Chains A and B, each alone.
Chain A
Amino acid sequence: SQQGEEDPQALSIQEGENATMNCSYKTSINNLQWYRQNSGRGLVHLILIRSNEREKHSGRLRVTLDTSKKSSSLLITASRAADTASYFCATDESKGYGNKLVFGAGTILRVKS
């Protein structure tokens, strides 16, 4: 079963605009991670935010986490055509040993040049 649910399912924007993707989950988590996937290939890790963190930045990426609402958002600023990809949130809800990730269905982002 998939815990994270991304919103929207698809997003189309012009180059230079900002893109915001949202993720909701159901149970308590250790951390939440965002990944990018190009054309059905391997996932590229973008950013990890821990449950005791509220906001994190990495280059043009900004991630927020609201554990009271069980939601997270990924903001990509000044988007580029190369940002076109599928974006997934994944939650680590493991107790004790192991760090299994539970993924959402993803948001397909298309950046038009």
Chain B
Amino acid sequence: DAGVTQSPTHLIKTRGQQVTLRCSPKSGHDTVSWYQQALGQGPQFIFQYYEEEERQRGNFPDRFSGHQFPNYSSELNVNALLLGDSALYLCASSLGQRKRKEQFFGPGTRLTVL
């Protein structure tokens, strides 16, 4: 049973560039959430996708956008990168919206913006 997978593992970009991160949820899961974790801090919720729609959003600017595909996989896009966007980006999957189940996390993508 494959867990949550993310790609790439590491990424280096320069300010102003755009980046796309990818996530495949755990088998059987239909909900994908994205979190940003700065060094030394806890993860911060970016947004959550269910049925190919953004269902909840945290306090992140419009530069952060996403997409969910019919197979439940998801992408996180960040435009006009800033130095402060350097962080570990975590994807989590869960089952359903109202079942209040645990979220399972992938290994993360380490983004460095120079």
Query: A residues touching B (Cβ–Cβ < 8 Å)?
Result: 1-2, 4, 30-31, 33, 35, 40-45, 48, 50, 88, 90, 92, 94, 97-106
Contact = CB atoms under 8 A, between A and B. Distances in A.
10 contacts: A2-B41, A2-B44, A40-B88, A40-B108, A41-B107, A42-B105, A48-B102, A92-B100, A101-B92, A105-B42
Contact of A100 (B33, B42, B105): B33
B42 A106 contact: yes
Contacts of A33: 102-103
A45 B90 contact: no
A50 B59 CA distance: 26
Nearest to A94: B56
Nearest to B59: A1
B41 A35 contact: no
Interface of B: 4, 31, 33, 35, 39-45, 48, 50, 55-56, 58-59, 88, 90, 92, 94, 97-98, 100-108, 110
Contact of B105 (A44, A50, A97): A44
